Amino acid sequence: MSVLTVNLAEDSYNILTGSGLLPSLGRQCADVGLGSRVAIITNPTVNAIYGGIVRSSLEDVGCVVTVIEIPDGEEYKNAATLSGVYDALIEAGLDRKSCIVALGGGVVGDLAGFAAATFLRGIPFVQVPTTLLAQVDSSVGGKTAIDHPRGKNLIGSFYQPRLVLIDVETLSTLPDREYRAGLAEVIKYGVAIDRSFFEYLEDHAEDLIAKDQGCLETVIRRCCEIKAHVVELDERESGLRAVLNYGHTLGHAFEAVAGYRDLVHGEAVALGMVLAARISAGMGHCSEADVARISGLITRFGLQVLPPKAERARLLEAIMADKKSRNGTISFICNQGIGSFAVEQLLPDKMLTLSGLEV
């Protein structure tokens, strides 16, 4: 097991990564002094596979455990579901010393984290992420949120967990499509921040596709290190943290235009990264060879690099709806070669032209 500390003064916490860690959750929670009344927030899919192990691990150290299931799917990451969670927390008699355990992917983690941030003005919570995306991205950094009918993640807060426990073995049951989508976020760290990590991914692509446990542990740990470092420098996204949005400006636009069901988030980010690389080449930040390398790795991971047909006007609308614009321009994260980044203020129209999209 590896231990990584996210250093945020009194909000510091450890990220534990390893294989077969779930049964030790109870002991780890006790070690950081978490209370004995616990609510596990999860969904039926994850609960059926891992709920039992997590529950008994907590009961073994004397916790009184309540399991709260929320329906599976992004469409339930909303105020109505959250309201039901508050009801269940009150019903279970949780107090300020009690603790919430988020067991699942990013949807469960975001909603459970926001419930923890707001219930009784904030109670401790622990992230037990079970998707690759949640293990390398959403469980680290303390962004919690629910969606609003007018947009994703519009209601939320920064609220750090007390512990993140990543059991790499849980990925063995993750559907292939979700796994590949998570790999897009993994590539993001390499392209925008860490060249040697990008090279590691190129060298170990086959191992990763085969879900080799050792390789996965290395990769997940490195992603968490990078994200933790960025968050330590800019917890509330006043600057640097925006680098984690690499590939997301056009990715989000495609996600919105294609409909959230047709394209899962990571698939949209993969497309967004290829387009971001082309824009970066157009702005002189990287070479055509870099673009080919980035899109080559994305393809090897079984992700699409050719965007679906979309109308220019609808894409422009989606870009503007997603981002705060300054005088009509948008802060766009370019890759500087591979492994570094640069920020450009770009007009959305120029962005689309530079991306080479036929729209």
Ligand X SMILES: NC(=O)c1ccc[n+]([C@@H]2O[C@H](COP(=O)([O-])OP(=O)(O)OC[C@H]3O[C@@H](n4cnc5c(N)ncnc54)[C@H](O)[C@@H]3O)[C@@H](O)[C@H]2O)c1
Stretch of residues binding ligand X (CB under 6 A), selected from 53-61, 71-79, 287-295, 321-329? 71-79
Assigned token pair, 288: 């055509």
In the chain, the amino acid numbered 290 is D
Q: Is 115 in the site for ligand X (CB under 6 A)?
A: no
Stretch of residues binding ligand X (CB under 6 A), selected from 69-77, 84-92, 248-256, 292-300? 69-77
Q: Find the binder of ligand X among 25, 46, 334, 352 (CB under 6 A).
A: 46
Choose, from 69, 178, 185, 225, the residue flagged as catalytic: 185
CB 69 to ligand X: min, Å: 11
**What distance in Å separates the CA atoms of residue 227 and residue 232, rounded to the nearest whole number?**
9
CB 271 to ligand X: min, Å: 16
Q: Is 43 in the site for ligand X (CB under 6 A)?
A: yes
Q: What are phi and psi of 99, to 5 degrees?
A: -140, 145
Q: Is 169 in the site for ligand X (CB under 6 A)?
A: no
Based on CB atoms, which residue is closest to ligand X, 153 or 213? 153
Q: Print the binding letters for residues 260-299 with ligand X: x by CB under 6 A, - otherwise.
A: -----x----------------------------------
Assigned token pair, 125: 């919570």
**Cβ neighbours of residue 188 closer than 8 Å, sequence gap 6 or more:** 244, 246, 247, 269, 273
**What distance in Å separates the CA atoms of residue 12 and residue 144, rounded to the nearest whole number?**
17
State yes or no: is 211 an active-site residue. no
State yes or no: is 285 an active-site residue. no
In the chain, the amino acid numbered 139 is S
Q: What are phi and psi of 36, to 5 degrees?
A: -95, -5
**Cβ neighbours of residue 258 closer than 8 Å, sequence gap 6 or more:** 268, 308, 310
**Cβ neighbours of residue 176 closer than 8 Å, sequence gap 6 or more:** none
Q: Is 161 in the site for ligand X (CB under 6 A)?
A: no
Q: Is 74 in the site for ligand X (CB under 6 A)?
A: yes
State yes or no: is 43 an active-site residue. no
Q: Is 255 in the site for ligand X (CB under 6 A)?
A: no
Size of the site for ligand X (CB under 6 A): 28
CB 72 to ligand X: min, Å: 4
Q: Find the binder of ligand X among 5, 12, 83, 173 (CB under 6 A).
A: 173
Choose, from 14, 43, 55, 143, the residue flagged as catalytic: 143
Based on CB atoms, which residue is closest to ligand X, 109 or 339? 109
Based on CB atoms, which residue is closest to ligand X, 11 or 344? 11
As beta bridge partners, residue 331 has: 345
User: How big is the CA angle at 314 (ends 179 and 244), to the nearest 5 degrees?
Assistant: 40
Q: Find the binder of ligand X among 15, 41, 110, 277 (CB under 6 A).
A: 110
Q: Is 67 in the site for ligand X (CB under 6 A)?
A: no
**Cβ neighbours of residue 27 closer than 8 Å, sequence gap 6 or more:** 57, 61
Q: What is the dihedral angle through the alpha carbons of 84, 87, 89, 91, rounded to the nearest 10 degrees?
A: -140
How many other CB atoms are there within 10 angstroms of residue 302's CB atom? 13
Per CB under 6 A, residues contacting ligand X are 43, 45-46, 49, 72, 74, 77, 104-108, 110, 130-131, 133-134, 137-138, 141, 143, 152-153, 170, 173-174, 178, 265
